[in-house]
Amino acid sequence: MPIVALEMVSHKPGGEYDEKMSIYAGLGVLYYIIYNPEFWRRDRHQPFEAYKLIDGQYRQQIGEPYWMPEVKLGLGRSQQVIGGIEQEILVWYDESGNAYPLPDAAAEQMREQLRVERQRAEVQQQRADRLAEYLRSQGIDPDNLP
């Protein structure tokens, strides 16, 4: 059984705060981390939340980075410059709260992942713009849908 489960929230809510949390609790996963850097306001949560399984229930923990003694690692957010772009990422921390450095290969993989995500977001925005334009052409205000 894994000790830590990490959920990264995407543009489409996926039950991270209820269904998945219940599943992981039922499986006995000790730590459940939710990273929601973009949609935390929409979901009415924090961008980084750490939960620990106590008496069969997840209890939200405080502190960041959050130290997990069972795995001798902490996890938290950090502002890093990757590919010349400053951005927030999750990083591992040692017991003293020092971030472990990112290997160059991991940084390159993250750059590529961000490029793909940006392209995907751009395509989605173009689709949304076209749909809104079409709705307006049909006399429907896309900002006031029922």
> For 61-74, what is each residue's pLDDT tens digit?
998 999 999 999 99
pLDDT at 83 over 90: no
pLDDT at 39: 67
pLDDT at 14: 72
Per-position b or e across 61-89, b if 16+ CB within 10 A of its CB: beebbbbbeeeebbbbbeebebeeeeeeb
pLDDT at 26: 92
Confidence label for 10 from pLDDT (cuts 50, 70 and 90): confident
pLDDT at 142: 86
Contact yes or no for 51/61 (Cβ under 8 A)? yes
Q: What is the mean pLDDT of residues 20-39?
A: 89
Residue with tokens 């940084």: 107
